[in-house]
Amino acid sequence: MTDAVNPEIAVGRENQLRDNLRAVRERIQTACVAAGRAEDAVTLVAITKTFPISDVRALAALGVRDLGENREQELKVKAPDCQDVTWHFVGQLQSNKARSVVRCAAAVHSVDRSSLVKALSRAAVEEGKTLRCLLQVSLAAYGSADAATGMSRGGVGPDDVPVLAAEVAGADGLELGGVMAVAPLGSDPDEAFAGLESVASRLRSEHAGADWISAGMSGDLEAAIRHGATHVRLGRALLGTRPPLG
């Protein structure tokens, strides 16, 4: 994540990001109109995993206010460098990394077990902040491709959401924000996100403030928006081909 970039390359990259951002915002706007939703109903979360801090700064300068990271190692480096945005943690999180993430992020989209709820609560109380938590929901029941490939997207089953939601809602330092999911690999995203929309509706009936639906990535954001996504998490469409992990 070095910043030693040739000025001409830096300008070219900024122009590329500007063009990509314009295209992404047009896709979001078009999808909102098609779904009969307000054009500002969806928040873009730019996922900067493996991309350099220079890209983070460029996106912030272009008006992107919500940035996300999948890995605690990158979040704790990038977030202090760019503090005038809202940071989201969207990856699988080990309980022993909870404090580091809480220091940097305003929201964690991937809460999937009681032990993590407890760790995040302790860290939030110690840091003197309130952390917005989204429950990661497994949508495996809405698509058979994950089972066929053996690749799980993670998360709690829909039937387990009420119990975990109650734990988050009752935990000090935490605010129950809603749900997050990734469509099963190779499945129909409309089917998967319709299932998530149903889970989210049931959750809101018990917790009115849990109104975020974090769903949709570069390849399926339109389907997610059709089914109520409030936050779409975009990496490739915005930043291009992902550099290899370091």
Residues with pLDDT less than 50, the chain: 1-2, 145-151
The vertex-180 CA angle with 197 and 166, nearest 5°, equals 90
The CA–CA distances, whole Å, from 118 to 100, 173, 175, 211, 239 equal: 15, 10, 13, 22, 34
Inter-residue contact 89 to 110 (CB < 8 Å): yes
Helices (H), 35-95: 53-61, 72-81
Please write the tens of the pLDDT for every residue from 123-154: 999 999 999 999 999 998 876 544 444 345 68
The CA–CA distances, whole Å, from 20 to 80, 152, 239 equal: 25, 30, 7
Task: Count Cβ atoms within 10 A of the Cβ of residue 232 and give its class: 0-12 exposed, 13-18 middle, 19 or more buried.
Answer: buried
Tell me what percent of the residues of the chain surpass a pLDDT of 90. Answer: 85
pLDDT at residue number 9: 62
How many residues in total does the chain contain?
Answer: 246
Inter-residue contact 229 to 32 (CB < 8 Å): no
Query: How many angstroms separate the CA atoms of 147 and 140, rounded?
Result: 7
Distant-in-sequence, close-in-space partners of 232: CB < 8 Å, separation ≥ 6 = 28, 42, 43, 44, 45, 214, 215, 216, 217, 221, 224, 225
Give 3-state DSSP helix, strand, coil % of the chain, rounded to 5.
50, 15, 35
Please write the tens of the pLDDT for every residue from 146-188: 444 434 568 999 999 999 999 999 999 999 999 999 999 888 9
Helices (H), 82-113: 98-104
